[in-house]
Amino acid sequence: MDNMTIWDYIRHPEKLDAASLEYLEGLVARYPFFAVAEFLYVRNLKNLHHRSFEASLSRAALNVPCRDRLFAFLEPDACVLKHEQRSPVAAVTEPASRADNLIDSFLNVSTPAERPSRSRGRMVDARTDYIGYLLQTEGEQLEENASADASEPVPRLNHQDLIDDFIGQGDKRIVLSQEETQPHPEIEEQSNGESDCFTETLAKIYIKQGRYEKAIEIIRKLSLKNPKKNRYFADQIRFLEKLIINNKNK
């Protein structure tokens, strides 16, 4: 028996007889997880009203991946009648032949609609797909953290108000109020590192505004306070001096 014969039996299971029973029995014994052979063998027993039909049906119900398809293959008329009772409107359209539906069922063992969905909103079973479960839980945790970070206000940097005013006013001088000029205990206790950070930020603002001479003055002061970074600040100064020369030559 070749593949074409098996295809013929799938299309016309009523042809299964005593001649095909021996071959299908051996095929099921050699390949116990071959669902197509199991379907054909049980249908063959049913056609012959064989005494071992019920026992073979109980075994097949445990081995086959889908019992509904097994029942549809054994009792196609009952399935067609049940489908017509549920959806009478379907009779208006031209239905596909029962044989074609059975063949599609055998070929498409796992249709896209039956495959487990990994979309958001459906939890992956950790018992069957632990890696997928970890990936899903990790992705949900990242989304929760991102939403929590988005809801929290962004902390403002030290001297942020002063920097914003300086950028907004451009070349205008910033006039400090009397309260702002008075020394504040917390400001006096700040470390030199924070002061240097603010000064370097101010230098960057001068560079963005094209006021390179002012930026050079600040960087030179920083270089004196931080001897270990002299090389770094010297490179910045040389670069700014070249920019000044290029602007004058334009």
* 70-82 core/surface letters (b: 16 or more CB in 10 A; e: else): bebbbeeeebeee
Question: Is residue 47 classed as helix, strand or coil in its secondary structure?
Answer: helix
DSSP annotation of 228: G
Residues 6+ apart with CB under 8 A from 73: 13, 39, 43, 102
Contacts (Cβ under 8 Å, ≥6 apart) of 12: 99
Residue 222 to residue 100: CA distance in whole angstroms:
83
Contact 34, 25 (CB under 8 A): no
pTM over 0.85, yes/no? no
One-letter amino acid for residue 201 of the chain? T
User: How many Cβ atoms are within 10 Å of 20's Cβ, its own excluded?
Assistant: 21
What is the reported pLDDT for 208?
83
Q: How far apart are CA 118 and CA 116, in angstroms?
A: 7
Within 10 angstroms of residue 111's Cβ, the number of other Cβ atoms is 10
Q: What is the pLDDT of residues 194-216, one digit of tens each?
A: 566 677 788 888 888 888 898 89
Least confident of 19-28, 96-105, 118-127: 118-127
Mean of pLDDT over the chain? 70
What tens digit of pLDDT does each residue of 145-196 get?
A: 656 655 555 555 555 666 666 656 555 555 555 554 455 544 444 555 556 6
Q: How far is CA 53 from CA 43, 74, 203, in A?
A: 9, 11, 91
Q: Cα(99)–Cα(103) distance, rounded to whole angstroms?
A: 6
